[in-house]
Structure 1
Amino acid sequence: MKHKLAFLLAVFAATVLLLAVQKPVFLAWYAVGRGFTAADWWQVVRHGLALDMTVAGYVTALPVLVVLLSLWVRLPERPMRWLLTGYFIAVSVVVAAIFAVDLALYEHWGFRVDGTILIYLADPREAMASVDFWLGVRQTLLFALYAAAMGWVYSRVVRLFDGEPLRWRAALPWSAGVLLLAGLDFLAIRGGLGASVANVSKVCFSSEMLLNHAAINPVFSFLSTLGEQTDYAAEYPFFDGRIRAQKFDAVRGNRPGTQPAERLLRTARPNVAVIILESFGRTVMDAETEGEPVMPCMQRLKEQGIWFENFFANSFRTDRGEVAILSGFPAQTRISVMKLPGKSRSLPSMARSLGREGYRTRFVYGGDLNFTDQASYMYATGWQQLFWQKDFDFDTPPADWGYDDRVMCEWFGEQVVRWSAEGEPFLAGLLTLSSHPPFDVPYAKFGDRMFNATAFADECVGRMIERWKASPAWDDLLVVLVADHSVAYPPSLAYNEPLRHRIPMIWTGGALATPPRTVEEYASQIDLCATLLGQLGVPHDDFDYSKDIFDPALPKFAYYTFNDGFGVVDALGRALYDAATGQAAPGSDPRLEETGRTLLQTTYVDIGCR
């Protein structure tokens, strides 16, 4: 039996080792002379092991089944070893081919190979016409050497295979043992026990994207995107290309001829803290239980700062809301661009724009930033430092989604004060999590679990802001409080109703020069980037969809999406459209329906071009 177990362990270990070797080869190809240290190279290999083990898990799956069968049935060793050798030769050829092609393409594409390559292989003659002869020779040699090395290692591993069955009394317990190994293999494939499954964010660890890219396993990158060859531009063909472009020019945020925005700040380059509030719906904010407000801190801050009365989320999911807030990019109906790293990396970004102006950019989350590829998106769009659950070791244990808001707001509050004292301008982001189901919080104020968790988060954020007010950091600080999305409360509220997507946004902080006020203009999360950058005097020409709320020349409306549909609302009306049926809701304003069609189609055309 020891030979059977040794065979399985050797298959997995050998595959991980053979895949890990790709990292130093990639770095030698692209990172030499870039100033990276030996420690950087080691970090690439160490972090990359997560996806190497995922691919190794897939490779090991078939041998696990063969060994399980061999416990009960005699499998002649010579034929089985030939069959296993053929399997591993196929694995070696596929892995070596992907790696050789990826190593050549990265110089031109700037990202690891993915399913996009299949588009260009549709015409082999055209694809080969663009390949330099000596480049082809070099990569063919690399492919042959790597495949041969893998084949040689696997040929040694195959010698460990034992096809002799066990007596049934021994086969039963050992079958349970092999099934346990199969479970561990599945965990490797899945990427662990956490909420996030295997994705490229698992290996991202640096603000230097070359190091993150070096850590990505190209086999995983390719295989995980095979099903993503969607013709996004054809998803919503409402208008022909020329008409759509004309209509978009009328509603775009960065169109020519816009007027200077009203100035709200007393300093040109304040420190900025953007607090993204999990599920802080407007309906919950305004709710009371026996005369007790659910969010007293938000109600108080509303009166003390700049309150945006008609502000809307762009989606019902955190990942889509984050992209809308931080990149000014509209949410999608059936996909999440954050989960498409090859496309999300090219989005404009609040962090990237401020980084160009000398800001330090940091993002904090008490949970797992691997979830929905957040870490990959954050690093790729200019966040220089990420702090999340793996970086903390607090005395209190994490809840289902991570460390609760009390712990994180205390830590983040202290960090903002410390960063302010350093004298270097910064953008700091925080995503809260306690107001997310299952609403497990160390707090007991309301019997309703959602109200209780939201009240807890509200209190934690309020206490953090009071901490800032009492510190020197307040004088030069702009705080933006904005929800990631709304919540289905009350339960009778339809999924597509504007009120369902209405959320709070409050600006506060000592950097504000204006007295408390209410902004009545209609806007949504995608408008935050242009509005904030406009106040800081930072160019935002690359934000096509983001409208400066304080620019009187731009149209004032809020746009949001739901599953296969959209809503648009302004001061004069609303439009709700269901793309699955091709019907607008009764009473929809044709003018706003056209705006929604234009934005939905343009969003998907844009994604298709990235």
Structure 2
Amino acid sequence: MRNRFAFQPRYFLFWLVFFVAAKATFLLYHASKVAGLPTGSLARIFAYGLRLDASATAYLSVLPFVLFAVGSALPARFFPQRLLRFYTAVLGVVVAFFTVADLELYRAWGFRLDATPLQYLNSPGEMAASAGSAPLLLLTGILAALLGLGWWLYNKIVGPVPALPAHFGRPRAVLASVLYLALLIVPLRGGVQQIPINQSDVYFSTVPFANHAALNVPWNVANSALLTDGGPNPYQFMPDSVAARTVRQLYAPASAQPDTTRLLRTTRPNVLFIILESFTGKLVASTGGEVGVTPNLDSLARTGVLFSNLYAAGDRSQKGLVALLSGYPSQPATSIIKYPRKTEQLPHLCRSLEQVGYKSHYYYGGELAFANMKSYLVAAGYDGFTERADFPTRQQNSKWGAHDHVLFDRVLRDLKTQPSPFFVTAFTLSSHEPFEIPIPRKFQGTDETALFRNSVYYTDWALGRFLRQARQQPWWDNTLLVLVADHGHTLPGNDPNESFRKFRIPLVLAGGALRPEARGLVIDRIGSQTDVATTLLNQLRLPSGSYTWSHDLLRPLRRPFAFYCFTDGFGMVTPAGTVTYDNVPHHIIAQDSTVLGNQQLHQGQAYEQVSFGEFLGK
């Protein structure tokens, strides 16, 4: 017969075993990555991860331990046994759901589940669309198996709470249960060390996947959700004065003379700013990618101005939006777009152009509430918005909303009556998961890479269809067309989350407003998404001083660079090569052999420290 006072240790053991089983599930789901790990890594994943598993277990055990202590002071008929089982069942469903959601999100995003998806709770339709390419039947089966395993483990390890022995008084029972409760302090903080446990304590390998696999998902979600935006700066690598000086040096121009390159026939052209969802440079031939996927964009690149060595600032749409329209860097593990009081203080191309008479409109085939984008765009001062609800139901033919050719048709129709000069922004969506397209596929295959390649081809097809009609319109001759991606993609090639190849994107300037001698120009200097704003404003002869993180791509820096961040680390690209750094274990992930010394690493650390410090201070 089970001892009543073994209930608390048994309950703790139940959750610990369940978390180990969840970790095993993650490793089985990503077996191809496990196969590439160094010898001995598998055992170390479980060994190092056990501390975080125990910490999560302790947090989940606090309330049951308290209930057990209170119940021990009450008559047997009042003991909250059903409440304990109900609490455990609810948490079991939540933990199992997190575990299963993390399986596919890690494959798509390259980092373990944290509070990031909470940004999308106000747009469940878009969340569902994002999961459209996931193997839902398999994931549902895994969820059912985990729930069944949890039920079996609870009954096997915990079971019903035995009655209090007749010879054992209630005060002694309460004392014993309170002692067990007090002992939870040790696993809660991950041991008796001075600093409580954090993610870095379970990082042990130079292979990011091994470190990620050791994490506990519920602990990671809760820790991320509880982090505030008020500081202190977690990226404090050096004295602030040193970091600020290093960043100023990064933006030092190669020449003291201002750039005089003129790309435009006029300083007040219409600006049609098209943001292309997930248009990775790997699928754009003009930036060294695959041939035949984006023939229309490549044709524009040959007859316009191509920036062939540009890098996205982050890895999500909302980060790319802020980088492009406000020239503002991305943040690791969060996004400034989550904080309207902060985004209201950012500069914005829409406001800059409004001051000189531009009329503006923003087009998106999906819901603007997704990822809190609408609050940012409304604060920017756009005169009008067109989003999913503004399209007839029959035109909402994508899981996200209206497909890209429908979006472009709407833009084309509206521009016939749009006052000039105009600043019109259009954001495509069809090349987002689940990669649905309304035209026959060009590329064979049903795997995710083939689906993605076909979705990019479709958006390019829709772009070409739009351009053929736009060139016939009276506004075309006085219009600058800006085409740029919001971010890159791991596909094709399943690049690691931190790889510079994932962040490389195209930027093309085209349209009737270009000077004839500018056509065919290729700028191959390294640049960032954040630099687009100042480059555009300088061509329009407008002030760009408030865009402090943006520089003119036509005015070379002394040492060109691009900084990008991912969860939770950064990459620094220069002509010497790339350095990527992991903020959790505080070590370099990869460094090209051509990068000598630590100067480039320190520059990246300074950039991250100063930019995140500014983010905290807004």
Q: TM-score range by the shorter chain?
A: 0.5 to 0.7
- Give the counterpart of 2:429 among 428, 433, 439: 433
Inter-CA distance 195–556: structure 2 relative to 1 (3 Å threshold): same
- Work out whether residues 259 and 552 of structure 1, in 8 Å CA contact, stay in contact via their aligned partners in 2: no
Partner Cα distance (1:451, 1:230) in 2? 38
Number of corresponding residues: 390
Paired AA for residue 364 in structure 2: Y
Which residue in 1 is equivalent to 2:614? 606
Paired AA for residue 406 in structure 1: H
Look up the SS of the partner of 2:571 in the other structure. strand
Paired AA for residue 600 in structure 1: E
Offset at residue 543 of structure 1 (A): 0.7
Partner Cα distance (1:522, 1:400) in 2? 36
Which residue in 2 is equivalent to 1:237? 236
Which residue in 2 is equivalent to 1:382? 381
Offset at residue 190 of structure 1 (A): 6.3
Paired AA for residue 373 in structure 1: N
Partner Cα distance (1:531, 1:364) in 2? 23
Offset at residue 462 of structure 1 (A): 1.5
Which residue in 1 is equivalent to 2:463? 461
2:588 maps to 1:572:
no
Write out aligned runs for 1:16-55 (5 A). none
Look up the SS of the partner of 2:395 in the other structure. coil
Inter-CA distance 190–333: structure 2 relative to 1 (3 Å threshold): closer
Normalised by the length of structure 1, the TM-score is 0.60
Which residue in 1 is equivalent to 2:281? 282
Which residue in 1 is equivalent to 2:502? 500
Render the CA deviation track for 1:73-123: whole Å, top value 9, x for unaligned.
xxxxxxxxxxxxxxxxxxxxxxxxxxxxxxxxxxxxxxxxxxxxxxxxxxx
Look up the SS of the partner of 1:235 in the other structure. coil
Which residue in 2 is equivalent to 1:482? 484
Look up the SS of the partner of 2:394 in the other structure. coil
- Work out whether residues 338 and 373 of structure 1, in 8 Å CA contact, stay in contact via their aligned partners in 2: yes
Write out aligned runs for 1:468-547 (5 A). 468-513=470-515, 514-547=518-551
Write out aligned runs for 1:28-427 (5 A). 194-195=125-126, 227=226, 229-252=228-251, 259-286=258-285, 293-393=292-392, 395-419=394-418, 422=419, 424-427=420-423
Partner Cα distance (1:498, 1:317) in 2? 15
- Work out whether residues 122 and 369 of structure 2, in 8 Å CA contact, stay in contact via their aligned partners in 1: no
Paired AA for residue 591 in structure 1: Q
Offset at residue 273 of structure 1 (A): 0.6
Inter-CA distance 248–297: structure 2 relative to 1 (3 Å threshold): same
Look up the SS of the partner of 1:293 in the other structure. coil
Inter-CA distance 596–301: structure 2 relative to 1 (3 Å threshold): same
Inter-CA distance 371–492: structure 2 relative to 1 (3 Å threshold): closer
- Work out whether residues 480 and 510 of structure 2, in 8 Å CA contact, stay in contact via their aligned partners in 1: yes
Partner Cα distance (1:368, 1:446) in 2? 29
Inter-CA distance 583–446: structure 2 relative to 1 (3 Å threshold): same
Offset at residue 347 of structure 1 (A): 0.9
Inter-CA distance 451–190: structure 2 relative to 1 (3 Å threshold): closer
Partner Cα distance (1:515, 1:462) in 2? 18
Offset at residue 524 of structure 1 (A): 1.2
Deviates more, 1:550-559 or 1:442-451: 550-559
Paired AA for residue 615 in structure 2: I
Partner Cα distance (1:405, 1:432) in 2? 6
Paired AA for residue 464 in structure 2: G
Offset at residue 516 of structure 1 (A): 1.5
Which residue in 2 is equivalent to 1:149? none
Offset at residue 519 of structure 1 (A): 0.6
Partner Cα distance (2:395, 2:557) in 1? 51
Partner Cα distance (2:246, 2:551) in 1? 16
- Work out whether residues 301 and 506 of structure 1, in 8 Å CA contact, stay in contact via their aligned partners in 2: yes
- Work out whether residues 486 and 503 of structure 1, in 8 Å CA contact, stay in contact via their aligned partners in 2: yes
Partner Cα distance (1:242, 1:257) in 2? 24
Paired AA for residue 512 in structure 1: L
- Work out whether residues 313 and 528 of structure 2, in 8 Å CA contact, stay in contact via their aligned partners in 1: yes
Partner Cα distance (1:261, 1:228) in 2? 46
Partner Cα distance (2:431, 2:401) in 1? 12
Inter-CA distance 253–485: structure 2 relative to 1 (3 Å threshold): farther
Write out aligned runs for 1:437-452 (5 A). 437-444=433-440, 445-447=442-444, 448-452=450-454
Give the alignment's Cα RMSD to 1 decimal.
Answer: 2.6
Partner Cα distance (2:405, 2:377) in 1? 24
Offset at residue 228 of structure 1 (A): 5.7
Inter-CA distance 505–253: structure 2 relative to 1 (3 Å threshold): farther
Partner Cα distance (2:123, 2:564) in 1? 34
Deviates more, 1:377-386 or 1:470-479: 377-386
- Work out whether residues 319 and 335 of structure 2, in 8 Å CA contact, stay in contact via their aligned partners in 1: yes
Partner Cα distance (1:564, 1:467) in 2? 44
Offset at residue 249 of structure 1 (A): 1.7
Partner Cα distance (1:456, 1:240) in 2? 49
Unpaired runs of 5+ residues, structure 1, are 1-188, 198-224
Partner Cα distance (1:475, 1:571) in 2? 37
Offset at residue 384 of structure 1 (A): 2.5
- Give the counterpart of 2:602 among 594, 601, 605: 594
2:558 maps to 1:561:
no
Inter-CA distance 235–193: structure 2 relative to 1 (3 Å threshold): closer
- Work out whether residues 253 and 556 of structure 2, in 8 Å CA contact, stay in contact via their aligned partners in 1: no
Unpaired runs of 5+ residues, structure 2, are 1-119, 129-223, 445-449
Partner Cα distance (2:251, 2:614) in 1? 13
Partner Cα distance (1:534, 1:595) in 2? 26
Offset at residue 255 of structure 1 (A): 12
Render the CA deviation track for 1:155-174: whole Å, top value 9, x for unaligned.
xxxxxxxxxxxxxxxxxxxx
Partner Cα distance (1:570, 1:357) in 2? 36
Paired AA for residue 195 in structure 1: E
Offset at residue 292 of structure 1 (A): 6.7
Look up the SS of the partner of 2:609 in the other structure. helix
- Work out whether residues 568 and 574 of structure 1, in 8 Å CA contact, stay in contact via their aligned partners in 2: yes
Look up the SS of the partner of 1:275 in the other structure. strand
Partner Cα distance (1:476, 1:227) in 2? 50
Normalised by the length of structure 2, the TM-score is 0.60
Offset at residue 418 of structure 1 (A): 3.0
- Work out whether residues 287 and 294 of structure 1, in 8 Å CA contact, stay in contact via their aligned partners in 2: no
Partner Cα distance (1:332, 1:283) in 2? 24
Offset at residue 496 of structure 1 (A): 1.4
Look up the SS of the partner of 1:194 in the other structure. helix
Partner Cα distance (1:191, 1:468) in 2? 35
- Work out whether residues 276 and 482 of structure 1, in 8 Å CA contact, stay in contact via their aligned partners in 2: yes
- Work out whether residues 254 and 547 of structure 1, in 8 Å CA contact, stay in contact via their aligned partners in 2: no
Inter-CA distance 334–388: structure 2 relative to 1 (3 Å threshold): same
Partner Cα distance (2:536, 2:544) in 1? 10
Paired AA for residue 533 in structure 2: C
Look up the SS of the partner of 2:400 in the other structure. coil
- Work out whether residues 230 and 617 of structure 2, in 8 Å CA contact, stay in contact via their aligned partners in 1: no
Paired AA for residue 453 in structure 2: F
Inter-CA distance 226–433: structure 2 relative to 1 (3 Å threshold): closer
Offset at residue 229 of structure 1 (A): 3.0
Which residue in 1 is equivalent to 2:11? none
